[in-house]
Amino acid sequence: MEIKRIKSLRVAIVPEDVECSTLTRENAQLFYTAERYSVPVLKGVVSEFEDALKEELGFDGKIPKKTREKRLKRGSIEFKVKQTPTSNPSYQAIGERIGQYLTDIQGLNEEGMRREGVRTIDGEAYLLLDDLTAKIEGLEEEFANKGSRTSISYSEMRKEPDLSRMLDLEPGTYGEVTGENAKTYRIAKEQLKLLGKNVVNPFKKSLKETTGYSKDNIPAETQYDLFEVGDYIFMVVTAPKKDVKYGEAAKFIINMIDEPEEGFTRQRDGKEYVPVSKLVETYNKIVEECTRTIVQQDIKVMPEPKYDQVLVE
């Protein structure tokens, strides 16, 4: 086998009016090329340049205390990089842990095991409100998901490049913020948007619809549908999936203790207690109401095997 070393990768620039929603031989070829070749190559260019741009502007990856914004111009393109601190608590994770915490307390009490912060009032187990509040606050801190969000925007180029051509890309050469690299970056970004919107997503949507399954028609068990389109074989795996909104239960429990109904809490020795069984019952009820079955579909694509070309007697 002859091996040839190459220096660059050629990516075809697709026009803005490209449309890939029908399952034809040509669209299958375009989809496969986009998802398996063009998109990964273009993402590599974007990643290289954006890392260099952020580094040149002094964005070191640390979480900022407040939003900061910087600008930089290369050639005819001006870039604006904006970094914002974020904190998005995962109430899904918090909800699961709250449920486990309350269930464990109830289980220990039913087994006759005494736990600190729990006492019996009128034959029922009550939990010290301060303990529950501290537990929730600890979970909110643990699952705070603190980080930062960085957005990069750029101005339009004064002169649109001729996009009716092939683009030669050299991986590893876009780590410098030059005017030429800025132009290539912009083309790569625009092409990624176009390929996602007009090629990859529409073709996948049509394949999934062809199976006949949807949110209104969910199979009882995993189904495998095979389709041959042009020179490619597509396997759509459709499976029912249980979706539980534990976060809704977490928010409901938090609201219950933040704004308790009259008579919900009991006082002993100057401290407030909340009924464990009532909390568990409410939690389970909300979880049940927020549980549904959804459809999950994954697509695997394979070139049709050419056995006559690879198998020799």
User: In the predicted model, is pLDDT for residue 61 greater than 90?
Assistant: no
Higher per-residue pLDDT: 307 or 58: 58
The reported pLDDT for the residue numbered 161 is: 57
Model confidence pLDDT, tens digit, residues 81-123: 999 998 888 999 999 999 999 999 998 888 877 778 888 888 8
Tokens 């969910």 locate to: 218
302/46 Cα distance (integer angstroms): 27
Model confidence pLDDT, tens digit, residues 2-39: 899 999 999 999 988 999 999 999 999 999 999 999 99
Would you list the domain boundaries of the chain?
Answer: 10-86+145-210, 91-144+246-289, 212-245+290-306
The residues, any chain, with a CB within 8 Å of residue 180's CB and separated by 6 or more, are 75
Specify the length of the chain in residues.
313
- Residues 38 and 191 sit within 8 Å (Cβ to Cβ): yes
Sheet holding 146-154, edge to edge: 68-74, 77-87, 146-154
Task: Compute the average pLDDT of residues 242-266.
Answer: 91
Q: Which of 131, 140, 118 is nearest to 276 (CA)?
A: 118
